Amino acid sequence: MTTASDKPYLKLDHVGKSFTRAGVTSEVLKDVSLTIDRNEFVSIIGHSGCGKSTLLNLVAGLTQVSTGAVLLEEREVNSPGPDRAVVFQNHSLLPWLSVYANVRLGVDKVFGSKKTRAERHDWTMHNLELVQMAHAKDKRPSEISGGMKQRVGIARALAMEPKVLLLDEPFGALDALTRAHLQDSLMQIHASLGNTVIMITHDVDEAVLLSDRIVMMTNGPSARIGEVLTVELPRPRKRLEMAAHPTYLKARESVLRFLYERHRFVEAA
Amino acid sequence: MGLALLKSEASAQAAAASAKPAAAAAVVAFAAPRRSVSNRFRPVLRWVGFNVVPPLVTLAVMLLVWQILCDRPGATLPAPSVIWKEARDLIVSPFFDLGSQDIGLGWRVLVSLQRVAIGFGLAAVAGILMGSLIGQSEWAMRGLDPIFQVLRTVPPLAWLPIALAAFRDSQPSAIFVIFITAIWPIIINTAVGIRNIPQDYRNVAAVLRLNSFEFFWTIMLPSAAPYIFTGLRIGVGLSWLAIVAAEMLTGGVGIGFFIWDAWNSSRLPDIIVALAYIGLVGFALDRLVGALGSLVTRGASAS
């Protein structure tokens, strides 16, 4: 899966980002370079405040790079768009729209001219079925659980058929059991659709279980990529089998070592 | 809001009522279903007891005190019994029509309401659009907000001479006074609502590449709706305040002019009946906009 092709699919080329507030400039990210292949699942892990969400927003185009460039299929990214759909940490479903209408909004926007009304309906339902939420299509976001909201958020992003799926700590606000369920669903979806995924996380197990590669960030300010770990685990991966798999444990250990030995989060101590 | 309160209270009553027979059913099993039928009316009765009886009692006490204070020779204001005697036609039949100026108060209120509907309707549309502009654009806010803050303190009637000079007719002038009175709270509340749209929703709109029209309809209006309806509710209250004053000066058949006319011909009982009409209609308008707001924004509360 990590075979390097001649043309990089998604490339972060010496990306840097600094914010200026009240005349004081603070550098959040410095010289981040990374290439991601088509169909690859990459996790970005680091302590809070290391700028991993900023990195995701740069790829999404929601914030602009200060230096360097983000290239998707060799074209520079500098504004948000449905080809880089985001699943937000707090689901960000529109509370006044039904589950169906939330997904349909994206479908209409992306495929409004390409698909007929019936096709768009089918495509919306197809994506809701993919995340097992078709049964709740007429409910409002306030009427479903946190895990379900996040499923709908994923359906909304998938329905835009993005080139890159961006997940910003998608399961961070969920309880452990729900999180495991959603991780399994995400693995299935990734296996069947072959999406290119960048996921921000602070959960070591989640990163190792789901990713082809794990990008570890150093602490901010001026955060950089500290290390990139390739997870050489065969797919499909089964949660229970992984728990005792030597490669899994080794990968887990090296991420933990990076986070807690070499780049200990000082403020958290 | 009133509706929601009513509902939640009723359901709480129902829960309390159904809890009782269940406890009794442990002892007398067959009695439970029969009791629940008679219990169906208990929540209604209790609601009436909680919400209708207290204001009626207060009203009765007020009328009694008023009667005692004014029912003597030399009293400057008419007692309730005098009002009933002299203005009964106005109280019992709001929709009689006996020629040009001898019509029921219901007709007069309708004429005033029509003016309010036009003025307030225009103010709602213009206010929401202006408020959206100010809420959305930093520069529009810097340029317009200070001016609006000054203009909104101008009393409604101070606009009337200017309106009369500009329109040269009393009807559009009265409507303009309503418009200019109602628009400020609508603008200001809409702007606050727009400024408070969560960044998350803006991000969603950005990723979907919604154009400004789509953003306005699908994100801005629903998200700011609770604020907008607060503004509309204040606005409709202010327009009702202003219409009476404006009509006193512009004439015509409105309820405001009726008061002025009654004062000029010393019909104090008529004035007091008109005041009751104005109060009740104002209350109804407020509740109407409030109910509309809670209906529209039912799904808009963030979760």
* Interval B36-88: pLDDT, tens: 556 778 888 888 888 889 999 999 999 999 999 988 888 888 889 888 888 88
Asked whether residue A251 carries a pLDDT value surpassing 70, the answer given is yes
Query: Which residues from B are below 8 Å from A141, CB to CB?
Result: 303
> Are residues B207 and A82, on separate chains, in Cβ contact within 8 Å?
yes
Average pLDDT rounded to a whole number, residues A68-92:
90
The residue among A222 and B229 whose pLDDT is bigger is B229
Looking at residue B300, its pLDDT comes to 52
Average pLDDT rounded to a whole number, residues B179-195:
94
Give percent of chain B with pLDDT exceeding 90: 46
Average pLDDT rounded to a whole number, residues A76-80:
89
CB within 8 A of B284, min separation 6: which ones? none
Name the region of A228 (left: φ>0; alpha: ψ -120 to 50; beta: rest).
beta
Q: Which of A208-212, A261-265, B70-74, B208-212 has the lowest mean pLDDT?
A: A261-265
Q: Please tell me which residue of chain A has the smallest CA distance to B301.
A: A95
Asked whether residue B18 carries a pLDDT value surpassing 50, the answer given is no
Looking at residue B224, its pLDDT comes to 92
Cα–Cα dist B54/B62, whole Å: 12
Cα–Cα dist A199/A172, whole Å: 11
How sure is the predictor about A243, in pLDDT bands with cuts at 50, 70 and 90? confident
User: Do β-strands A213-217 and A225-230 pair in parallel, antiparallel, or remain unpaired?
Assistant: antiparallel
In a domain, B35, yes or no: no
Q: Say which CATH number the domain at B186 has.
A: 1.10.3720.10
Instruction: Write the residue in A60, A109, A141 that is nearest to B210 by C-beta.
Output: A109
Residue B26 backbone phi and psi in degrees, to 5: -60, -30
Interface test with B, best of A92, A107, A145, A152 (most B CBs within 10 A): A92
Asked whether residue A266 carries a pLDDT value surpassing 80, the answer given is no
Interface test with B, best of A84, A94, A102, A105 (most B CBs within 10 A): A94
Q: Please tell me which residue of chain B has the smallest CA distance to A104.
A: B208
pTM confidence score: 0.76
Looking at residue A262, its pLDDT comes to 74
In a domain, B115, yes or no: yes
Residues 85-104 of A with CB under 8 A from B: 85-86, 88, 90, 92, 94-97
How sure is the predictor about B103, in pLDDT bands with cuts at 50, 70 and 90? confident
Peptide bond into B222 cis (omega under 30): no
CB B243 within 8 A of CB B285: no
Average pLDDT, chain A: 89
Number of CB atoms found within 10 A of residue B23's CB: 9
Average pLDDT rounded to a whole number, residues B156-168:
91
Asked whether residue A102 carries a pLDDT value surpassing 60, the answer given is yes
Look-up of token digits 């000066």 = B249
Looking at residue A240, its pLDDT comes to 86
The reply to whether A231 touches chain B by the CB within 8 Å rule is no
How many independent structural domains does chain B possess?
1
The residue among B262 and A6 whose pLDDT is bigger is B262
CB A180 within 8 A of CB A243: no
Asked whether residue B7 carries a pLDDT value surpassing 70, the answer given is no
Looking at residue B35, its pLDDT comes to 54
- Nearest-CA distance B182 → chain A (Å): 27
CB within 8 A of A82, min separation 6: which ones? A106, A109, A110, A160, A162, B207, B208, B209
The reply to whether B208 touches chain A by the CB within 8 Å rule is yes
Q: Please tell me which residue of chain A has the smallest CA distance to B224.
A: A96
In a domain, B81, yes or no: no
Asked whether residue B99 carries a pLDDT value surpassing 90, the answer given is no
Asked whether residue B251 carries a pLDDT value surpassing 90, the answer given is no
In a domain, B167, yes or no: yes
The residue among A131 and B303 whose pLDDT is bigger is A131
Q: Please tell me which residue of chain A has the smallest CA distance to B300.
A: A96
Looking at residue A2, its pLDDT comes to 45
Q: What is the dihedral of CA B271, B273, B274, B278, to 10 degrees?
A: 140
User: Which helix (H) or strand (E) covers residue B228, if one does?
Assistant: helix B221-250
Asked whether residue B30 carries a pLDDT value surpassing 80, the answer given is no
Asked whether residue A159 carries a pLDDT value surpassing 50, the answer given is yes
How sure is the predictor about A268, in pLDDT bands with cuts at 50, 70 and 90? very low
In a domain, B93, yes or no: no
**Mapping DSSP to helix (H, G, I), strand (E, B) and coil, where does residue B5 land?**
helix
The residue among B87 and A12 whose pLDDT is bigger is A12
In a domain, B10, yes or no: no
Looking at residue A265, its pLDDT comes to 62
How sure is the predictor about A47, in pLDDT bands with cuts at 50, 70 and 90? confident
Q: What is the dihedral of CA B91, B93, B97, B99, to 10 degrees?
A: -30
Average pLDDT rounded to a whole number, residues A176-200:
91
Q: Half-sphere exposure of residue B255, counting CA atoms within 13 Å on the CB side?
A: 32
User: Which helix (H) or strand (E) covers residue B278, if one does?
Assistant: helix B268-296
Which residue segment(s) compose the domain that B135 sits in? Answer: 105-297
Asked whether residue B283 carries a pLDDT value surpassing 90, the answer given is yes
Looking at residue B37, its pLDDT comes to 58
Cα–Cα dist B217/A105, whole Å: 12
Residue of A160, A170, A164 whose CA lies nearest to A114: A160
Asked whether residue B248 carries a pLDDT value surpassing 90, the answer given is no
Asked whether residue B145 carries a pLDDT value surpassing 50, the answer given is yes
